[in-house]
A and B are shown apart, each in its own frame.
Chain A
Amino acid sequence: MILEATGLRKRYGDTTVLDGIDLAVAEGSVLALLGPNGAGKTTTVRILGTLTRPDGGSARIAGFDVSTQPRRVREAIALTGQYAAVDAQQTGRENLTMIGRLLRLGRRGATTRADELLERFELTEAADRRVVTYSGGMRRRLDLAMSLVAAPRLLFLDEPTTGLDPASRATMWGAVGELVRGGTTVLLTTQYLEEADRLADRIVLIDDGRVAAEGSADELKARVGGDRLDLWFADRERLERAAVILDAAADLHETRIGLPTDGSAGQLHHVLDVLRAAGAGPDRVTSHRPTLDDVFLGVTKRTLVTGADR
């Protein structure tokens, strides 16, 4: 395990932001911290990245204690924060060589390393333009490149694709995949199920400062069971009545009730009969393979995207 954290706690004033987070990341793997806005993802990353001290619990990275040996930890990690940390008035190349010189690669070494990274992140053409002229996707790529100057063993990515268009998102995913194939361990946070599903070996669902569930995407989906039946309602009153009758988690935002199904016609008949008898029949019925969204809804009674309470 390159990272082991136990019982991480953090309070800000009267609010408990982290309430005992345990994490373990195997070297060479990708762990996704998946949770809605305000779940505590950034706080967790900041503690592990030696920026904030936990109020309780402890964490070791590459064998060093995050609280008492931050300097040694910093030699093993790199952190790409939620907001791009690049100098808009420097060029891409200047940003990269600055980091190289800070890391004592020397002028020559820093220049060579910058060239490699510019090439790898398809920024060579824009290398000598100031970053103000870059698109959001280019900034993010430069930001990531700046984190890789030292070839870290463990890379933290806090919401690497939030706010990016689909094409830039795909490029970022490609870059992360390549990193992992090169042996880098990655801990990323995300609000997107698809991202966690696509990139992560293990997923930790985090909600309200606690670990709500964890496992591989497949393990988590298996917890939901087989296929899912979706009952859609045009009006809320009927939806609420149906939810009570079926004792199921309802996704109020989407006006949908999700149920496990074995795919049989008999079950469908039964559900529809019961609901119709109560005057709470759905308007539409669909079914799908389980997704992480179902897991999240099941575990937290909340939808991930909106964070709306049930």
Chain B
Amino acid sequence: MSATLTMVDRSVRLTRRNVDTMIMSVVLPLLMMALYVYVFGGAIDTGTAYVTYVVPGTILLCAGYGAASTAMAVADDMNSGMIDRLRSMPVRASAVLTGHVAASVARNAVATTVVVGAAVAMGFRPTATLLDWLLAAGLVLLYVLALSWLAAGLGALARSVESASALSFVMLFLPYLSSAFVPTETMPAVLRAIGDNQPVTPIIETVRGLLTGTPIGSAGWIGPAWAVGLLVVSFVFATTCYRRRTTR
């Protein structure tokens, strides 16, 4: 436990000091949101103010951008002397992964707060009760954890920091093929089939429903089920990749 706490402490400190990472995970989603709201928003009809529509998707998009940083940080440790130092010490060296995942959660908490704050400034008016906020935050947390473990696994798999970042960019595209920015009904049939059946859409619909009172329907259980399922798979994937990489 003390090893895990120490590594969490380290990763959070490193992430705070990494300007690229902070820009990537906070400023970029913010710019994207502004772009969507002010440039495309007028042309997209979602039945509500576009900023209200786009907030849940932007929050999930943050997690995607943050994941690239997590994958790179893990790859850096796995390909530098750090992992060897830890493995030659009488400590549980895999705590290094937990540290980076925790830092990713911390980063996302900051990014989400900033995004929601900026959205309010752009006219976002949530109708959520405290309980709704907590449920939405819980679901987003599950999603962020799942993506972070997936990213940690990719980082352990990659032979270099560059390829880790390339691998994790796939995660950025899921939100675009979902109901994050436009309702899936407006998509061509093939894309719509993908959009309706991938994990991000029901998670976003659930968060949207909780925050702004839109109907949630079956997304209310499909979304969380996806999030939990993804988390389990990602965690197993990450530990497997780590173990393969460090098998003596």
Contact = CB atoms under 8 A, between A and B. Distances in A.
B81 A85 contact: yes
A241 interface: no
B18 interface: yes
Contacts of B248: 50-53, 67, 70
Q: For the side of the interface on B, what is the size category?
A: 20 to 34
B82 A85 contact: yes
Contacts of A218: none
Interface stretch (A1-9, A95-103, A169-177, A229-237): A95-103
Contact of B81 (A84, A94, A102): A84
A82 B88 CA distance: 14
A119 to B, nearest CB: 22
A103 B85 contact: no
A130 B7 CA distance: 18
Contacts of A75: 90
A115 B121 CA distance: 48
B70 to A, nearest CB: 15
A49 interface: yes
Q: For the side of the interface on A, what is the size category?
A: 20 to 34
Given A53-B248, A85-B82, A102-B6, A77 B91 contact: no
A120 interface: no
Given A53-B248, A101-B6, A87 B82 contact: yes
Contacts of A46: 84
B14 interface: yes
Contact of A78 (B6, B13, B88): B88
Contacts of A83: 80-81
Given A85-B81, A85-B84, A74 B90 contact: yes
A52 B3 CA distance: 22
Given A46-B84, A51-B84, A81-B84, 8 more contacts: A49-B84, A67-B248, A70-B248, A78-B88, A85-B85, A101-B2, A102-B7, A147-B85
Interface of B: 2-3, 5-7, 9-10, 13-14, 17-18, 80-82, 84-91, 248
7 contacts: A50-B248, A51-B88, A71-B90, A84-B81, A85-B82, A90-B10, A103-B89
